[in-house]
Amino acid sequence: MIKFSYIKNKILFFVLNHPGAKQEFDNSIQSIKSALKFHTPTECENETITDIKAFVTHKPALHGDTTALTQPRKIVSYRERATGNFDIPVHDEKLRELILSIQKIIKEKNDT
């Protein structure tokens, strides 16, 4: 639910990963404010918090949970199914040369 939080301009921001979580969080903001008046966490002792806000982000986290960012990408390659054996019923010389070059590339891929 909560990706991370930070303090900016005396406002404590909570970054959430789902709109439903934000709705629940908005219902609990007053409880969080009153709890912070009674007990300030040690990380926030040097900060004055005047308000609490929350928003939803769909961007991957830059810190914290980076498993999706650090997994190696799989290189997917497929075997060429075309053989390059096809007729070229084109009369335009420029277009015919282009199709011949494509045909040559396909045949070279099949030879390797």
Query: What are 26's two structure tokens?
Result: 């908005």
pLDDT in tens, 37-80: 788 777 777 778 888 898 898 776 555 555 555 566 677 777 77
Of residues 70 and 33, more confidently modeled: 33
- Please state, rounded to an integer, the average pLDDT across all residues of the chain: 81
CA 63, 66, 57: angle at the middle one, nearest 5?
65
- Positive/negative CA dihedral, 25, 28, 30, 36: negative
Measure the CA–CA gap between 29 and 88, rounded to whole angstroms.
Answer: 70
Measure the CA–CA gap between 21 and 46, rounded to whole angstroms.
Answer: 28
> Which pTM value belongs to this model?
0.48
